[in-house]
Amino acid sequence: MNRPIKAFIVDDSAVVRQVLAQVLASDPAIEISGSAPDPLFALQKMQKNWPDVIVLDVEMPRMDGITFLRKLMQERPTPVVICSTLTEKGADTTLQALSAGAVDIITKPKVGLKDFLESGRQQMIQVVKAAARARLAPVTARTPVRRPAAAAPTPKPSGMPLSRTTDQVVALGTSTGGTHALEAILAQLPADCPGIVVVQHMPEKFTAAFAQRLDQLCRCEVREAVDGDRVLPGLVLIAPGGLHMQLRRSGAQYRVGVSDGPRVNRHKPSVDVLFRSVATVAGRNALGIIMTGMGDDGARGLLAMRHAGAHTIAQDKETSVVFGMPREAIECGAAVDVLPLPSMAEAIIRGGRR
């Protein structure tokens, strides 16, 4: 895109609108085309100069952000970035917005807006730029899965290790557009799928709600990882936002370590941190998959997995919302295969049984 990206801000707080406009307009590649206190005013203003990206609050008067987003996706699909306060209470609502078609999340503080101008500036700019390049895919609503009452529960750690536990660990890394990609993949997996560890770039407070939502849609169990959790068949562990996750080996068992630390590639959790640990402790017993997202987090870690003997896959350009992370992995030679999103679930199932 040679011309500046036109961004429109919808938020009921005049102060927030002013701060967001100031942050985004500080980059010459972004132009603020307008702002509005609610979706109805926004629709009137945008008709004259339709934006490339909409930065949208979720709780607003007259029309909430989710209703507005669904209307947009039906009538005039446009990349939308959700701007949400960092609270557990708002996490579920924000995830509903992502499910309705939003591309990514920007977190805004309740206080300390001046500090936010500096601390969050670069991330906000990068998210809006990535959203402008996003490929919008049709959004399909999924029905929550009712697990049979007689189904066997997820095995618990015991003195005797499960022989299959160390056969295969699937490591998934993704960012912008990844919430939809993960939902599409995990919802296709059987209840006895290989043990899966996931890094999805997402702010703290949101990953627990995200894991809970996926758990309702999938036959396998999905939950936010806790330090020491064992990797087991039928279990998907999502790295907590704001913390790194690594794979560890204890005898015949794999477990995850969750810990604080500096950002890696501007992210915490970082895909590279997870992938490097998988390369070290699982080697050829692992399958690594890098999917849609901006930047290069995960590319070098996936290359380390390949060098350690793991099978590695990158999502193709056509099905990626943002072809940044997969492209970097492909260009550095990290990916053995390049596959479209609809083929990923089958690749996981085959990989877990080879």
pTM, 2 dp: 0.84
Q: What is the pLDDT of residue 156?
A: 38
Fold agreement between 5-132 and 169-353: yes
170, 348 contact by CB (below 8 A):
yes
User: In whole angstroms, what is the distance from residue 176 CA to residue 174 CA?
Assistant: 7
Q: What is the pLDDT of residue 168?
A: 83
Q: What is the pLDDT of residue 84?
A: 82
Residues of the chain with pLDDT under 50: 149-165, 354
Region for 57 from its dihedrals, namely left if φ exceeds 0, alpha if ψ lies in -120 to 50, beta otherwise: beta
Q: What is the pLDDT of residue 135?
A: 86
Q: Which DSSP string do the residues of 37-75 spell out, in sequence order?
A: SSHHHHHHHHTTS--SEEEE-SS-SSS-HHHHHHHHHHH
Q: What is the pLDDT of residue 114?
A: 67
Token pair of 266 as six digits: 């501007």
Q: At what angle do helices 65-75 and 39-46 cross, to 10 degrees?
A: 30
Nearest to 57 by CA among 33, 75, 39, 43: 39
User: In whole angstroms, what is the distance from residue 39 CA to residue 60 CA?
Assistant: 8
**Which residue in the block uniquely carries the two structure tokens 């660990």?**
169
Provide CATH code, domain 169-353.
Answer: 3.40.50.180
Domain residue extents for the chain: 5-132, 169-353
Q: What is the pLDDT of residue 162?
A: 36
Topology of the domain covering 5-132:
Rossmann fold (3.40.50)
Enzyme catalytic residues: 175, 201, 297
